[in-house]
Amino acid sequence: MAGKNKLVSPFIKWVGGKRQLIDKISPHLPKQLSAYTYIEPFIGGGAVLFHLQPKKAIINDFNAELINVYLTIRDDVEALIAHLKSHENTSDYFYTIRSLDRLEGFKQKGLIDRASRFIFLNKTCFNGLYRVNRAGEFNTPFGRYKNPNIVNEPTLRAVSRYLNESEVSIFNGDYAQVLDLADRKSFVYLDPPYHPLSESSNFTGYIEGGWNESHQIRLKEACDDLTDRGIKFLLSNSSAPFILDLYQNYSTTLVKANRAINSNGAGRGKVDEVLIRNYEL
């Protein structure tokens, strides 16, 4: 797609983010992608959206705090930048800000305050790991980084400009609501919480309640529905045998990805992921 701005890029770290996999994902996208409405029901850090920069898109995430950040960047980026400059990179301050979602009335706090808190915690917490407990409370510890890039003004302004100059609809809720909006002129990229390769590698803490096999099965049924409606989709997931078996009737390609979250540094490195699609290249 012509006229892409390289400054339009992810403004947060995100578990399973696709920035490093873009070169492997791109060859599996449909030809003439610009003719489609781009739909991404699990937007996360937005690496694929920001790489493609489609003129018409529908994005969604179940994480209300994350979607508030997207909306705030679109609607009031200068106020957000000003608020981000007020934060302190200290342990005591970090835990004070982290604790705000334990207090009554947090959901009623200003949208800019909440968006600023989200970015600050993301940039200063350990490993940039967005993780919540079963009550939906952020619980990643302080990262102790000397000079985290809390206020990335060029990227925030570029993303704001893209969201305002393109036709991007932003939703917060169950992914099914945006799949219902798809038609034959849509292309859907799905990047759900991954099925764990093993019990010890299980990480689904970026949404309250997590994901399990029943959620994966429901998503596969949604993919079957897209196929029945003649809508192209590409899905990323782990290469767990359960996933490979679940999607055995679709085209699958294994790709190598860097594993970014593991408490043991020796456990990080290349790991197989799978790209699943319902169309011919």
pLDDT (tens digit per residue) in 66-88:
999 999 999 999 999 999 999 99
Phi and psi at residue 103, in whole multiples of 5°?
Answer: -95, 145
All residues at 6 or more sequence positions from 40 whose CB lies less than 8 Å from its CB, including other chains: 46, 48, 49, 57, 58, 59, 60, 188, 189, 190, 191
Q: How confident is the model at residue 199 (pLDDT cuts 50, 70, 90)?
A: low
All residues at 6 or more sequence positions from 271 whose CB lies less than 8 Å from its CB, including other chains: 197, 238, 239, 256, 257, 258, 259
Q: Are strands 56-61 and 167-172 parallel, antiparallel or unpaired?
A: parallel
Query: What pLDDT does residue 136 have?
Result: 84
Q: Tell me the mean pLDDT in the region 21-37.
A: 95
- CA atoms within a 13 Å half-sphere pointing along the CA-CB vector of 254: 9
pLDDT (tens digit per residue) in 220-252:
999 999 999 999 999 999 999 999 999 999 999
Query: What pLDDT does residue 2 have?
Result: 52
pLDDT (tens digit per residue) in 92-144:
999 999 999 999 999 889 999 999 999 999 999 999 888 888 888 999 999 99
Query: What pLDDT does residue 262 have?
Result: 46
CB 218 within 8 A of CB 173: no
Q: Read off the pTM.
A: 0.92
Query: What pLDDT does residue 131 have?
Result: 86
Query: What pLDDT does residue 42 have?
Result: 97
Looking at per-residue pLDDT, the higher value among 12 and 263 belongs to: 12
Q: How confident is the model at residue 269 (pLDDT cuts 50, 70, 90)?
A: low
Q: Output the DSSP codes for 127-168.
A: GG---B-TTS-B-PPB---SS-----HHHHHHHHHHHHHTEE
Walk me through the domains of the chain, giving residue ranges and CATH numbers.
Answer: 19-61+154-277 (3.40.50.150), 67-151 (1.10.1020.10)
